[in-house]
Amino acid sequence: MLDRILSSLEDDKAEDIVQIDLRGRSAMADHMVIASGRNARQVATIAEKLAERYKKATGRTARIEGKDAGDWVLIDTDDVVVHVFRPEVRDFYQLEKMWMPADALARSRPTQPPAGH
């Protein structure tokens, strides 16, 4: 299921997709996926399409929260929890910092050089 979710996010042009292995670390899910959409409309569309594809593939309905606002949408498929953010909201909450080991976090997101360099 994780591969299908990642494929769905890529198909809908989600950005900065990060997957976090939660096995042995949390009982809520086996994996967490964090991604960004460029704006509220794209965030909501990414979530809707993912939920549709999940239902078609499994026959089950994913739980979705936050779709109407479009700032941060959570899609819960039981085994995989997906967070889709607008970039500013993602930067504010920094879920990656809470869940990823420091060495994995450094490799997962491109670093920006300091201003003036």
31-57 residue pLDDT tens: 999 999 999 999 999 999 999 999 999
Which of 72, 63, 88, 84 lies closest to 14 in space, CA to CA? Answer: 84
Task: Output the pLDDT for position 97.
Answer: 85
pLDDT category of residue 11 using cuts at 50, 70 and 90: very high
Cα distance between residue 28 and residue 20, in whole Å:
13
Instruction: Read off the pTM.
Output: 0.83
Task: Output the pLDDT for position 52.
Answer: 96
